Chains A and B, each alone.
Chain A
């Protein structure tokens, strides 16, 4: 297995634009997590899914953020409209017993 795959690796967008981050979890893992990492706040859990169902989205900062998991092999995190304070590295992780992280998407909103 290639591990957790995230795309794009880097995204630069203008304020107000819609941003979609993508994640392909490891096959067979039934949990999927979205995290955001910044220097100021560290690694924060945004939302997690179990068997494609959102379980806890209390970490999603605002209604501008939404996440979906239409099937076991794909998830998206969408920000609409994006703002400069959304600039961060966004990680997707999946787990069966142990959690594995993807390489992250570095988002810059200008």
Chain B
């Protein structure tokens, strides 16, 4: 079993839809949870960062962490075609030192 599991998709939604992306993990030592966005032929860029459990909101994006279930989510409200990218979850036990990534979910938002 991989340390971090993420459905690779692809996921296709119409513009304006709410998107839900999820990851599960097995290592209970993970404390830091990140979502990265990667456009085609580019490096990943940090989108959201959460420490421990709880919710964090940034504009149209909301990250949720449920450590008891070892489950994290990213919600995108009012999705836009510019949100089309691959979204990777990442997590680490020590801040940034040993990030483990999910496989990434490829999202397409159709106009």
Contact = CB atoms under 8 A, between A and B. Distances in A.
Contacts of A55: 97
Contacts of A4: 43
A39 B94 CA distance: 27
B54 to A, nearest CB: 19
Contacts of B41: 104
Contacts of B60: none
A24 B103 CA distance: 26
A42 B103 CA distance: 5
Task: Label chain A's interface by main secondary structure.
Answer: strand
Contact of B104 (A43, A91, A95, A103): A43
B100 interface: yes
B63 interface: no
A59 to B, nearest CB: 10
Contact of B43 (A31, A56, A103): A103
A104 B43 contact: yes
Classify chain B: how many residues form its interface, as a range: 10 to 19
Contact of B99 (A97, A99, A102, A103): A99
Contacts of A33: 99
Nearest to B49: A98
B96 interface: yes
Given A42-B103, A42-B104, A99 B98 contact: no
A34 interface: no
A37 to B, nearest CB: 9
Interface of B: 41-46, 49, 88, 95-104
Interface of A: 4, 31, 33, 35, 42-45, 48, 50, 55-56, 91, 93, 95, 97-104
